[in-house]
Structure 1
Amino acid sequence: MTRRAYSFVRTFAPGPARDLSVDRHYLLCASAGVLRLEAQDQAWLLPPARAALIEAGRPIRVSIPHPVTTASVLFDVGFTQAPRASLTVFDLSPLARALVTECGRWGESDEPLTTYAETLFAALAAVTWRLAEQPSPVVVPAGRSPELRRALRLTEQRLGSEVRFEDVAGEVGLAPRSLARRFEEETGMTWRAVLRRMRVLRAIEELAAGDTQVTKVAYTVGYTSLSAFNAAFRELTGRTPTQYRASFRP
């Protein structure tokens, strides 16, 4: 019989998206690098300062744009209550990160947890379930219709250059007005707002992947002004790029 809660750490090379579903409540963290998650017509990035809490049985799609090391904690459905939402992405507090590290001492095994370990896993569940009540705003819609999903892919592929809405509309076979309506109906956002979020998400990816200067990251994701980049980043995350990168580091 597998433990009621256990943890494991694994390192993965970059790879394409794959579907994932487990029969336990799943706390997924990146301890180095970054993961991309997609579910419920939305997409998130998971750098080291953030975690995903996934309800047992909830399918998600995971892709790895850069090498990544994950720290995962799995809870039997009888160990703790179900999360309020089937999938939530949120920022980890220093306490939660310390508990994830400490719980890493207990991997999958048929041996029962010690009383100390049970207490640690219960504390981790209590802390992260509470943190999940404040989801991260850094999310972009994935789209439902083939045309919008293609428009989103084209937009993302061109973040580092000048990307024009009219060109994207032409390539997906829709008039600009029709594509604009599609964005409003399927995402609740304008294309310009989605573009801004995509650029911030790509910047988070770059900030988590290494020590590239913030100015270079800004240009890489399509900004020609560092002040405009900082303003957009702070508006979405509540922090400057430098502050956000510092939160990735132990």
Structure 2
Amino acid sequence: MRREAFAFARDFEPAPPSELCVGRHYLLCASRGALRLEAHGTSWVLPPARAALIAAGEPIQVSIPQPVTTSSVLFVPGFTPDPPAPLTVFDLTPLARGLVTECAEWPEAEGLLPPYARSIFGALAAVTWRLAERPSPVAVPAGRSPELRGALALTAERLGEDLAFEEVAHHVGLAPRSLARRFEEECQMTWRATLRRMRVLRAVEELAAGEDSVTTIAHRVGYTSLSAFNAAFRDLTGRTPTDYRATFRP
């Protein structure tokens, strides 16, 4: 008989999008680097100190833009309640991070968990299931139509440039007015607001990738003004870039 829950850590090199679907409820954490997750028309960034809770049997797209180390905990359905949503990304508290570390003592194996381990996995589930009720705002719509996905892809490729909306519309073969309507319908926000959010999400990845200064990262993602970058970052995450990076550390 396989364990009711188990944990493992792995290192991954950069990789293009691939589908992930497992038969257990999946708590996925990045302890180094950042992952990109996509499901149901939304894309998330998963840096350190954040976690994704994925329901059993829920297919998601995972891409790895930089080397990453993950810590994962899997639960058999029935050992825990169903997650509150098919996929949720949220901030980990120090308690939750400590429980994830403690669960690493029990990898996948045959046989039931000992009582102490069951209590630790149960405590982790109770804490993270509750945290999942308060999702992180670090997400951006992924788009449904080919034209909008193409517009988002071009925008992502040229985040650091002074890209004009008319150029994006021409690239996907739509009139600017038609593309603007697609953004409102599929993203519930304008292209300019989407661009602003994508720049912040790319900055989150850059903050997780290494020790480049906040000013360097701001310029890399398209901001010429550090104060404008800090304001946009704080609006989305509730923290300054420096404070956000500090949450990655234990």
User: Could you tell me the TM-score, scaled by structure 2's length?
Assistant: 0.99
Q: CA deviation at 1:100?
A: 0.4
Secondary structure in 1 aligned to 2:154? helix
- Counterpart Cα distance in 2 of 1:139 and 1:175: 27
Which residues in structure 2 correspond to 1:1-250 (within 5 Å)? 1-250=1-250
Runs of 4+ in structure 1 over 4 Å off: none
Q: 1:121 and 1:223 mapped to 2: Cα distance?
A: 43
The one-letter code matched in structure 2 to 1:198 is: M
Deviations 1:160-179 (A, max 9, x none): 11111010001100000000
Count of aligned pairs: 250
AA of the residue aligned to 1:94: P
SS in 2 for 1:89: strand
1:10, distance to aligned residue in structure 2 (A): 0.5
Aligned AA for 1:109?
A
Unmatched tracts of structure 2, length 5 or more:
none
SS of structure 1 residue aligned to 2:53: strand
C-alpha distance after superposition, 1:176-208 (max 9, x if no partner): 000000000111110011000100000000000
Report the aligned-residue RMSD.
0.5
Give the C-alpha shift of residue 5 in structure 1.
0.4
- Cα deviation, 1:59-96, whole Å, max 9, x if unaligned, reads 00000000001000000001010011111010111110
Which secondary structure state, in structure 2, belongs to the residue aligned with residue 85 of structure 1?
A: coil
Determine what percentage of the aligned residue pairs are the same residue: 71
Cα displacement (A) at 1:111: 2.5
Question: Secondary structure of 1:107's partner?
Answer: coil
CA distance in 2, matches of 1:186, 1:36: 20
Amino acid at match of 2:223: Y
Question: CA separation in 2, counterparts of 1:138 and 1:194?
Answer: 12
Q: Which amino acid aligns with 2:219?
A: Y
AA matched with 2:168: V
2:223 and 2:208 map into 1 onto residues whose CA distance is 18
Residue 81 of structure 2 aligns with an amino acid whose one-letter code is Q
For 2:20 and 2:124, locate their aligned partners in 1 and report how far apart those are by CA, in whole Å. Answer: 23
* 1:124-157 deviation line (CA, Å, top 9, x unaligned): 0000000000001111000000000000000000
Q: Which runs of 5+ in 1 are unaligned?
A: none
Aligned partners of 1:60, 1:24: CA distance in 2, in Å?
Answer: 14
- Report the secondary structure of 2:247's partner residue: helix
TM-score, scaled to structure 1: 0.99
Cα distance in 1 between the residues matched to 2:13 and 2:107: 22
One-letter amino acid of the structure 1 residue matched with residue 218 of structure 2: A
